[in-house]
Amino acid sequence: ALKRLLAAVPVLTDVCPAGDVIAGLGERVMLHAGPPIEWQRMCGPLQSAVIGAAVFEGWAAGPEEAANMAADGAIALHPNHDFGAVGPMTGITSASMPVFVVENRAYGNRAFCTINEGIGKVLRFGANDSEVIERLRWISVTLAPALRMAVEHAGGVPLGPLMSRALTMGDEMH
The answer to whether residue 53 scores a pLDDT higher than 90 is yes
The answer to whether residue 121 scores a pLDDT higher than 90 is yes
Would you state the pLDDT for residue 64?
A: 97
Q: Which amino acid is at 154?
A: A
- pLDDT tens profile 73-101: 999 999 999 999 999 899 999 999 999 99
Q: How many CB atoms are closer than 10 A to CB 65?
A: 15
- pLDDT tens profile 137-156: 999 999 999 999 999 999 99
The answer to whether residue 172 scores a pLDDT higher than 90 is no
pLDDT band at residue 26 under the 50/70/90 scheme: confident
The pTM is what?
0.93
Average pLDDT over residues 37-50: 97
| Cβ neighbourhood burial of 72 (10 Å; 0-12, 13-18, 19+) | exposed
The answer to whether residue 118 scores a pLDDT higher than 80 is yes
- End-to-end C-alpha distance for the chain, whole angstroms: 18
